[in-house]
């Protein structure tokens, strides 16, 4: 049986992409294959990671399109052309609209660096999430992998993992620990779960 073709959408350093590449190599992701890495930032280090792993890459820049609808149209065309069956957002810094989501309904997953429904939604990304967790004084944070719908961080949760907040944590130390202890573990595991469901025809 063929493996599910995965596209990973990235904007930055690509540490979550690296976790996915490593998970495919080690057999954690066994029902899917990362076939394409797409970035909306030509300088994203994630593209280098993909090239090093022998994965095809593409860059789609918003500034090259008159409207965001045209930008998304090009993304959809690229993904469909490559036979992509699952889209994984791994630090993709562009909010996707309903048009894109409808084209890949129940086929887009995202990792968010908090335990949804805490510290999520519009404006909560990157370090801002960890700053909010620390200023609120929560004792536990973590990461969530969820399906993407038209509400930012609003889709059905696939997997969560908690991470303890330690005395003296800064947003930077917390971000690193949430990545290492949660994001890099549950994103590959969730990707495998969804690939298996797609393969078995369970996600219609």
- Mean residue pLDDT of the chain comes to 95
pLDDT beyond 90 at 204: no
Q: Is the bond preceding residue 117 a cis peptide, omega within 30 degrees?
A: yes
Per the annotation, the verdict on 112 as an active-site residue is yes
| Strand-pair partners of 160 | 144
Residue with tokens 């059905």: 156
**Of these residues, 5, 49, 107, 112, which one is catalytic?**
112
- For 50-93, the pLDDT digits (tens) are 999 999 999 999 999 999 899 999 999 999 999 999 999 998 98
Measuring CA to CA, which residue among 161, 156, 167 is closest to residue 113?
Answer: 161
Token digits of residue 13: 């350093």
Q: Domains of the chain, with CATH numbers?
A: 4-199 (3.40.50.170)
* pLDDT for 1: 64
């Amino acid at each position: 049986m063929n493996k599910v073709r995965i596209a990973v959408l990235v904007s930055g350093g690509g540490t979550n992409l690296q976790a996915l590449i490593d998970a495919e190599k080690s057999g954690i992701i066994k029902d899917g294959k990362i076939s394409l890495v797409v970035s909306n930032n030509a300088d994203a280090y994630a593209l280098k990671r993909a090239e090093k792993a022998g994965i095809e890459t593409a860059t789609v820049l918003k500034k090259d399109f008159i409207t965001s609808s045209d930008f998304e149209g090009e993304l959809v065309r690229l993904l469909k052309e490559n036979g992509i069956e699952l889209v994984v957002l791994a630090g993709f810094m562009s909010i996707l609209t309903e048009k894109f989501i409808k084209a890949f309904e129940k086929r887009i997953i995202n990792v968010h660096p908090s335990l949804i429904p805490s510290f999520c939604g519009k404006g909560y990304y990157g370090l801002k999430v960890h700053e909010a967790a620390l200023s609120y004084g929560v004792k536990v944070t973590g990461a969530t992998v969820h399906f993407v719908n038209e509400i930012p961080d609003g889709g059905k949760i696939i997997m969560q993992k908690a991470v303890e907040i330690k005395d003296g944590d800064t947003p930077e130390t917390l971000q690193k620990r949430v990545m290492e202890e949660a994001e890099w573990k549950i994103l590959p595991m969730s990707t495998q779960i969804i690939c298996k469901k797609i393969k078995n025809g369970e996600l219609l």
